[in-house]
Structure 1
């Protein structure tokens, strides 16, 4: 689990509550369920209206990366590729048939199996690089769905504040209730800005970094397997792959 994500969220929200407390505000005024509903549920609904169901579910599954990030060990994978390159040079690429499953990466296993099966190395490299880019584009689209939630949240927060003010205006004959109602109304704006800028956008930036690293990892596998397929010397291949960091 990525404790840094949880820690960052705790610090961000704690700063808001601390600032409110130091300013003499009541903490209970910041806890408003209707405001949370209109911002969170409303933003999600607006994002769903512009997307497909598949994209929405894929985005929500990808959201789990923020707490349970995928591991792309480029250094370890590079060592694995070089080990396979030595084995292929000593025997032949057909000797790697039993090592395909040891790669523990679906993309790499498929690429290696295609190379072992005798696919043209140049065509293999070209098509796999295109596929790696498509995977990255799909990741970007899924993250874009989450970003759209953050984009709608501030507007929904303002709408919640307007609704709160409408309800507060109904209490013009009670100044005390009117003041409390206005204070609560602006909580929706706070929720909208906080949900977008303290939760959604920071998490999306982290997901983009994971997606970029996945692309880098896949590209390294492609170049490494291509090198094995054309019989490139392991030391030269190791030098070329050392640029992937």
Structure 2
């Protein structure tokens, strides 16, 4: 296992005082209530929390998919909170890979073509073939999503995310729609990418067991970071008891 990044290491994301309020008619929903959080270069962090805890909102703000109502988010010293839409689009395209619970593959395209959608616009991408080989799908490149299992579709989604060589990989419930055996394979791929490429990786989940594979666990509840702790040893996904 790699050395766990030091707590005072290279800060990739620095969030301070983050709030997020959604207004639906006369109803105000406060998703985040003053979050302070750092994510460090090369670490694998698990954000753990129940549905509705605010963890997805926090991940979306870090990734530039949403904006905080108040507070500051910096990526390597660059302020994201007030950045114009064009700058956020460039930030997402050049620095961040996203993996979601539902795979968001284009049904009319093969696995290879789904990955190529990203590689054709990235600055220094892997080839689709190399990205799919990385996730163990070299024999399934010309299959359509309907011909792939759920776990294989998620691995195509991961290949698509990492093909542009992002510095950061943000994963929202990547095993939420999978059984434990298939989920383990997906987590193995994420851990391999983190270890092999040093990609800063954040995985959000409601499953506390997954926290054992992380360098650091961040527990989110009621729109706040309630506690964080560091694991003395990262467990391999195959060691997790689901």
Question: TM bucket by the smaller chain?
Answer: under 0.3
Structure-2-length-normalised TM-score: 0.26
Structure with more helix by fraction: 1
Structure with more strand by fraction: 2
Higher RCO by CA contacts (8 Å cutoff, separation 6 or greater): 1
Asked which structure has the greater CA Rg, the reply is 1
Structure-1-length-normalised TM-score: 0.26
